Amino acid sequence: MRIAYFDCFSGISGDMCLGALISAGVDFALLKEELAKLPVTGYDLRCEKEKRNGIACVNVFVDLLEEDQPARRLADILQIIDGSGLPAEVKNKSKDVFIRLAAAEAAIHDTAPEQVHFHEVGAVDAIVDVAGSVLGLHLLEVDQIYASPLPMGKGFIKCQHGVIPSPAPATLEILHNVPVYGTGIAGELVTPTGAALLAVLTDAFIDLPPMTMEKVGYGAGKRVMERPNLLRLIVGERCVAETQLSISRHDDHNREHHHVRPRDYKMAHTRMHEHKHSHQHERGYGPDHCGGLYQHSHDHQSSHGLPYEKNEQ
């Protein structure tokens, strides 16, 4: 099984995701050719090889040739994606990302998703970032996607609404039930577009799973920071023995406790059982704890631990 792991030690944005995909082996010429099937104009897609803290990476730019971008609504963006010649799977997942963004913006502004006027995320560059990221994973023929817990910045950031706190309210709204941790770094580390991409596409937020690595790519962020402002993408084959063991343990646990699988991102140990439990959680903060396995013991002397999962029914 081919898997992709997003190691978000400095956060994630749409252009960082594109850069990591290209660095990990996606053919840029093919990606650009396919994205030209989107019925949008007024942009130029280019990439540059750079080094951040000595690490070779790819920096992607979506240069807008027309500065005035229309304030698109969700229906407008969905129509653009539907009208493209992209593969059906890429279309559907790209639309899901924008639907997630619209739901978050609607919650923040107390309106309906259909009434949201996209500003930054409705511009051509955001459409290219989202469709390009989904397309890149499709071209890599990835079966499952995982990501690390996400680092949060602090302070304030500027947008078309004015000055807002960091993390952006829309970002936090998107990341409900996703493991995050504070870094103390001023500014924005995870953008709403980056958050929505992971929230929709990721199967679980965990530590690096056992895998045979084939490719590693680095996508550059636009800010230069003391730490490397990079998104790392690791692609490879999942270890068969680990996969079988994980499935076996999960099946045994379900048979014993008769669990109903929850939707979306739910921590497995928050499920309610009909019999009594005695929970003793040990929990820390930061990436080493947030994405790890949590153990809790039962009255009947069994214990288990599961990562954050997105379970689909």
pLDDT in tens, 275-303: 333 333 333 434 444 444 333 333 333 33
Same domain, 163 and 105: yes
Residues 97 and 127 in one domain: yes
Asked whether residue 173 falls in the same domain as residue 200, the answer is yes
Q: What number is the average pLDDT over the span 47-53?
A: 97
pTM beyond 0.85: no
Of the residues 213, 238, 263, which one is the last residue of a structural domain? Answer: 238
Percent of the chain with pLDDT over 70: 75
Query: Is 305 found in the same domain as 167?
Result: no
When comparing pLDDT for 155 and 120, which is higher? 155
Predicted confidence (pLDDT) at residue 251 exceeds the cutoff of 80: no
Point out which residues pair with 159 in neighbouring strands: 162
pLDDT band with cut points at 50, 70 and 90 for residue 241: low
Residues 118 and 244 in one domain: no
Predicted confidence (pLDDT) per residue in 122-167, tens digit? 578 889 999 999 999 999 999 999 999 999 999 999 987 789 999 9
Q: Are residues 163 and 222 in the same domain?
A: yes
Please choose, from the candidates 66, 47, 43, the residue with its C-alpha nearest in 3D space to the C-alpha of residue 58. 47
Specify the pLDDT at position 267. Answer: 37
Same domain, 164 and 217: yes
Q: How high does pLDDT run on average in the chain?
A: 82
Same domain for 192 and 295, yes or no, is no
Number of compact structural domains in the chain: 2
Same domain, 178 and 254: no
**pLDDT tens-digit profile of 175-224?**
999 999 999 999 999 999 999 999 999 999 999 999 999 999 999 999 99
Single-letter code of the amino acid located at 282: E
* CB 296 within 8 Å of CB 303: yes
Q: What distance in Å separates the CA atoms of residue 109 and residue 104, rounded to the nearest whole number?
A: 9
Q: In the Cβ-directed half-sphere of 219, how many Cα atoms lie within 13 Å?
A: 28
Residue appearing with tokens 């680990």? 242
Segments forming the whole domain that contains residue 265? 240-311
Residues 255 and 224 in one domain: no
